[in-house]
Amino acid sequence: MYKKLLNILILGSALLVLFPTLVLSQEKEKLEYVPTVLFLAAQCGPVEIVSNKLKDKHGEVPFAVGNGMVILAQNGEPIPAQLVLTVNPDTMTFTVNAVLPDMNTCLVISGNSFAPAMLKKKKIQYIKPDLQVVAPGWMF
């Protein structure tokens, strides 16, 4: 009789220990991913003027290109764009540009401390950038 009671107590204790874990794992599965929408205010201008300014004023030259798409904030319309990543190899500043079909270039992001990702680990580690605040209109 005591053996049966002891087995019930052990089983009951195990369920009490495991039950919160089971409930938590079920709650985690219920979480839905809600994408973040980032609306950008990008400076745009004719490709020749923008590329000359990046080269002459900041010493940045094209480093990588690719084909992609941007979505216009005002109407949600997707339009094709060419990615042009410009880099100054001496100062390690960079700019990510989107060249639109009308041959206007929009500056998507710019910064410093450009370097290759070190893929020793499977995850890319975020490094807090040493940013310089640039007032709007720095390009033109």
Residue-level pLDDT at 86: 96
Residue-level pLDDT at 15: 47
Residue 130 lies inside a defined structural domain of this protein: no
Predicted TM-score (pTM) above 0.75: no
For the chain, count helices (H), then strands (E): 2, 5
Residue 136 lies inside a defined structural domain of this protein: no
Residue-level pLDDT at 104: 95
Q: Which domain holds residue 19?
A: 1-34
Residue 104 lies inside a defined structural domain of this protein: yes
Place of tokens 């190899």: 89
- Give mean pLDDT in consecutive 10-residue pieces for the chain, a chain of 140 residues: 51 50 54 78 92 95 94 88 96 95 94 82 60 49
47 and 68 share a domain? yes
For 63-113, the DSSP string reads EEEEEEEEE-TTT--EEEEEEEEEE-TTT--EEEEEE-TTSEEEEEEEES-
Looking at the structure of the chain, the number of domains it has is 2
Residue-level pLDDT at 36: 80
Q: CA 140 to CA 132: how far, in whole Å? A: 18
Residue-level pLDDT at 33: 77
Residue 118 lies inside a defined structural domain of this protein: no
Identity at 24, one-letter amino acid code: L
48 and 95 share a domain? yes
Q: CA 130 to CA 19: how far, in whole Å? A: 47
18 and 69 share a domain? no
Rounded to a whole number of angstroms, the CA Rg of the chain reads 27
